Amino acid sequence: QRILRLAEMCRRLETEEEKVLPFYPSSLAEGELQDARRVLEETPVEPLAQAMQDYVGLERFWQRFNKAKLEEKVLEQTRAALANRNQQLRELLQQYLAGVAVSRKVLKDLEPL
């Protein structure tokens, strides 16, 4: 019930694009997709596989969870890259301002001449 409530809350926060196309397209070839569907339709033999059948309904949840984690990682990398670029720009600005201050000092010294 808690997961369903969280899913409802998350659904309200989704963009229109996420509501229409919630997941990335599969990178599997058509033959691989057919093999995967066939395997999913078979009755599992191993105990662990049988237990997993109980959680097939959570597949969409895990897809959304993994998509959110991937997007979070991308945002972290983008933020780190932007912070690095920001630091570079600050250093360039400091160099420029230091050059301006030196040139003003030189101009002041040259004024009496």
Q: Which residue has the higher pLDDT, 32 or 25?
A: 32
Q: Based on the fold, state whether residues 50 and 82 are members of the same structural domain.
A: no
| Share of residues in the chain with pLDDT > 70 (%) | 82
The per-residue pLDDT for 110 is: 67
The tokens of 96 are what? 């420029």
Mean pLDDT of 9-34: 72
Q: Based on the fold, state whether residues 48 and 70 are members of the same structural domain.
A: no
**What total of structural domains would you count in the chain?**
2
Residue 9 within a domain: no
Residue 10 within a domain: no
Q: How far apart are the first and last CA of the chain?
A: 85
Q: Is 67 exposed, middle or buried (0-12, 13-18, 19+ CB in 10 A)?
A: middle
Give the single-character DSSP code of 43: P
The per-residue pLDDT for 103 is: 74
Residue 13 within a domain: no
